Amino acid sequence: MPAVLWFMSGISRLKKIWSRWIFSASSDNWMPGPSSSSFTVRSTCRISITLIQWGLAGETWMNSPPTLAQARWNSCPFKGAMIKMGIRVNPIPATKPYPRRKPTIIILNKANVKKLLKAACDSGWYLEILLGLFCGLRKGEISGLKFGDFDAENRTIYIRRQITSNPVIPKGESKIQTYEVIEKPPKTDNSYRLLRIPEAVAKEIEKRRTLVDANKLQLGEQYFDHDYISCQENGLPHSTAAMNSALTKLCSRNGLPHITVHGLRHMYATILVEQKVPLIKISALLGHASVNTTFEYYCEVMDENEQIITFMNNMFIPEGGVTAC
């Protein structure tokens, strides 16, 4: 179905839903207001469209039907409307979820991975790339990692938070004015996890600690000490787009295929698959909500082509084997 038709059909369905709710004889579904006559079909349509603009705007519905995750995100404006406007029913949880599109997994060959790591040495993002490629961390988990989460003696890191952007909507307005960077719990309950890390990654964390300590000393009171491992010179977390922007520049300047932070995570998972690591273990290492998510993403990796298998068999770098900066 064309995108515009899909969007308009969504509006049409919501108009019908609102009409049924408001004129229902059941008190459980009645929407209170100044008077029953003030809530006409036309006004309910306006409310529906407004809510669509708040939560379902732009790319989410115009590009493709909503996935389950998108439907949950879209449910938030309705929850707010239930509180502020007296709406008694939230329709989003009952909507039909559509299958999540499988990601395109880009595999860099061994030479390109070495080229990427060598270029990253001078970029200030070397550690972050190692955490994505050899630990499988999400972008927000890398940004949220603190020195207090790192156990140097046992060479482990504990994932307990993520950094994400939060829309700021001024009071009394409906449009997003800006985004703020905030700490949040990890994506799922299973995302809380303790991971062993390669020796090379542990050494890079110690190097980063030395750099951060030097910045603290230089900036003094102007340094915002939140204990972040990945942060700006003043201690504040990077923007949520910063690492992907850095990766794009690295790939472009070095003639490499474009890859994102999540692409590094996919490569890590593919390494594990090709090393015959059990799927349930891979799911735990990645912090997926369930093993079904892992299966959905990676069950076909081993059948894709011989190039991936050959690459992965030669690519897995043992402890301490990562190119040193």
Between residues 317 and 190, the one the model is more confident about: 190
Residue 255's region, left for phi above 0, alpha for psi from -120 to 50, else beta, is: left
Residue 299 pLDDT class (50, 70, 90 cuts): low
Cβ density class 275-295: b for 16+ within 10 Å, e for less? eeeeeeebbebbbbeebebbe
126-143 average pLDDT score = 95
Query: Which of helix, strand or coil describes residue 159?
Result: strand
240-250 average pLDDT score = 95
Residue 226 has pLDDT above 90, yes or no: yes
Q: Could you give the C-alpha distances from 29 to 14, 36, 38, 41, in angstroms and in order?
A: 15, 13, 17, 16
Whole-angstrom distance, CA of residue 33 vs CA of residue 13: 23
Q: What does 290-317 look like in DSSP terms, one character per residue?
A: SHHHHHHHHTTGGGT-HHHHHHHHHH-P
Between residues 291 and 195, the one the model is more confident about: 195
Residue 216 has pLDDT above 80, yes or no: yes
Residue 316 pLDDT class (50, 70, 90 cuts): very low
Query: Which of helix, strand or coil describes residue 81?
Result: helix
Cβ density class 28-47: b for 16+ within 10 Å, e for less? eebbeeeeeeebeeeebbeb
pLDDT at 46: 45
- For the chain, what is the mean pLDDT? 75
What is the number of other CB atoms lying within 10 angstroms of the CB of residue 74? Answer: 20
Q: Read off the pLDDT of residues 178-203 as tens digits, 9 standing for 90 and up.
A: 889 999 999 989 999 999 999 999 99
Residue 88 has pLDDT above 60, yes or no: yes
103-113 average pLDDT score = 79
1-5 average pLDDT score = 47
pLDDT at 291: 82
Percent of the chain with pLDDT over 70: 59
Residue 314 has pLDDT above 80, yes or no: no
**pTM beyond 0.85, yes or no:** no
Q: Could you give the C-alpha distances from 172 to 168, 169, 199, in angstroms and in order?
A: 12, 8, 52
Q: Read off the pLDDT of residues 161-178 as tens digits, 9 standing for 90 and up.
A: 999 998 888 888 888 888
Q: Read off the pLDDT of residues 254-280 as tens digits, 9 standing for 90 and up.
A: 999 999 999 999 889 888 887 788 888
Between residues 228 and 290, the one the model is more confident about: 228
Residue 258's region, left for phi above 0, alpha for psi from -120 to 50, else beta, is: beta
pLDDT at 99: 63
